[in-house]
Amino acid sequence: MGRVSQESILFKKVLIVSSQETKEGDVLVENGKITKVSPFIKPHASLIIEESGLALFPGIIDTHVHFREPGLEKKETIYSGSKAGVSGGVTSFFEMPNTNPLAVTVATVEAKKKIASETSLSNYNFFIGANKENLEELYKIENVPGIKIFVGSSTGNMLVDTDEHLLPIFQKKSNRLIAIHSEDEAQVRRNADIYKDSNDVKDFLKIRTVEAALSSTKRMVAMALKTHRRLHVCHLTTQEEAEFLAALADRGSVTTEVSPQHLFLWAPDIYDKIGTFAQINPPIREKRHADALWKALKSGVIQSVGTDHAPHRISEKENRFGRAPSGMPGIEHSFSLLLTQAAQGRCNYNDIAKWMCEAPTSVYNIENKGFIKEGYDADLVLVDLQKKKRIERKDIVSKCGWSAFEGWEVTGVPIATFVNGNLVYREGDFFENIKGKEVKIKE
């Protein structure tokens, strides 16, 4: 496609969505910023968008993705992952450090930022990962969403699960967020040894147990409260963890997220249906957990939604249990899956703006994003709330080419995505000449 850059864009008579209200109005964008939000703005822009029945959301911020670059580009790249994201309304992403090489130094994180600056269609930033030797690097680096610690389920040299190595990270006087994959590695390994000869993917739940998740989360929360550090528990999966967090008299600066697959899929049904394609860490559990997580999200015990987009090739996921890798894609359908819940009355559109736009900005201290407010970056997604679409393999944008939600019909479809005031996606077409920018974090 040719250059699609507008010095000014005027959205006329759209439903403007925030966590507080949904109101009809006009939004003016100039030079990448939102400059006016008003019930009426006199038309005077180089591009005027006026189509009835459309809603305007802040761009979705997905704070938990694995784009596999560098080192595993056959699964996904920063380019292909960001492309999948903008097709689903995601205008900013935070990517995890378990690439090859691991992003555990200033140099390796900066190398990923350089790739993104040249190829990403959306805005970006990258976690630095902790290992047992890189304490100084964790605090020397500038402008990252946080430190990712794999207390369990590590990749390469990234397992950090002993007090000897965890405490120095937590005891450092810093406002830098610590994000954790919370499973007790010792328990998981003991269980894995018991089921090492199993061919039944449902035994995965007996390996990565509720107890392994809960004990780890309790331990990490206690450590964070004792050291007064900001802690974010990634992809919460159990009723027990949600109830533990809800019961805390003082949560300090402890936050958490939930992934759509843990809200909308459950055992044993999904394993019977798609087998090892449903295998992820932590696992998809029984329906009682999905129901409890949804309740916790609606009550505010869980703050945000992050996809844990973790693509693998179809040929890899087709392997038998024990050989198939864990992980599934999710970035391009997460927004529509939540919009469908609103269409069905299970939540409302204001909730979605809170969980997918506003909460990520407060959890991670993101500058100038997540809201449709004057002075904020013009990261916006235009949505047809009534449009229905079936998720089909032939339409999937992610390089991995599959989804656990294939065959699902969604109600509510992003039809245009704007990153820093630039149209990057509209109804199946991508405009790729202008790249995203590094997301700025306030510390």
Q: How many CB atoms lie under 10 A from the CB of residue 306?
A: 29
Q: Please check whether the domain covering 8-57+373-430 is classified as CATH 3.30.565.10.
A: no
φ/ψ of 299, rounded to 5, equals -85, -10
Work out the mean pLDDT of the chain and round it to a whole number: 96
Q: Give per-residue pLDDT as tens, 82-114.
A: 999 999 999 999 999 999 999 999 999 999 999
| Average of per-residue pLDDT across 325-345 | 98
- The burial class, CB within 10 Å (0-12 / 13-18 / 19+), for 195 is middle
Please, which residues have CB within 8 angstroms of residue 107's CB and are 6 or more apart in sequence?
none
| Average of per-residue pLDDT across 362-367 | 98
How many degrees, rounded to 5, is the angle at CA 22 between CA 28 and CA 344?
130
Sequence ranges of the chain with CATH classification 2.30.40.10: 8-57+373-430
pLDDT of 6 > 70? The answer is no
d(CA 284, CA 262): 6
d(CA 106, CA 357): 28
pLDDT at residue 7 in the model: 81
The single residue of 26, 161, 184, 308 carrying the catalytic annotation is: 308
For residue 250, the surrounding DSSP H or E stretch is: none
pLDDT at residue 153 in the model: 72
| Average of per-residue pLDDT across 196-205 | 97
Q: Give per-residue pLDDT as tens, 135-182.
A: 999 999 999 999 999 998 766 789 999 999 999 999 999 999 999 999
Closest CA to 255 of 210, 209, 296, 283: 296
- The burial class, CB within 10 Å (0-12 / 13-18 / 19+), for 390 is exposed
Q: How many CB atoms lie under 10 A from the CB of residue 295?
A: 15
pLDDT at residue 5 in the model: 52
pLDDT at residue 52 in the model: 86
pLDDT of 3 > 60? The answer is no
pLDDT of 2 > 70? The answer is no
φ/ψ of 61, rounded to 5, equals -115, 110
| Average of per-residue pLDDT across 3-8 | 63
| Average of per-residue pLDDT across 387-408 | 98
pLDDT bucket at 45, cuts 50 / 70 / 90: very high
Please, which residues have CB within 8 angstroms of residue 181's CB and are 6 or more apart in sequence?
148, 149, 150, 151, 152, 153, 154, 234, 235, 281
Residue 431's alpha-carbon distances to 89, 287, 342, 434, in angstroms, are 14, 40, 29, 8
pLDDT at residue 157 in the model: 82
Under a CB-based contact definition with an 8 Å cutoff, are residues 137 and 106 in contact? yes
CATH of 59-364, one of 3.40.50.10210, 3.40.50.1360, 3.20.20.140, 3.30.70.920: 3.20.20.140
pLDDT at residue 4 in the model: 45
| Average of per-residue pLDDT across 390-405 | 98
d(CA 196, CA 275): 17
Beta bridge partners of 9: 29, 47
pLDDT at residue 1 in the model: 33
Q: Give per-residue pLDDT as tens, 10-30.
A: 999 999 999 999 999 999 999
For residue 226, the surrounding DSSP H or E stretch is: helix 210-227
Q: Is 269 a catalytic residue?
A: no
Sequence ranges of the chain with CATH classification 3.20.20.140: 59-364
Output the pTM of the full model.
0.97
SS3 state at 346? coil
Q: Give per-residue pLDDT as tens, 207-264.
A: 999 999 999 999 999 999 999 999 999 999 999 999 999 999 999 999 999 999 999 9
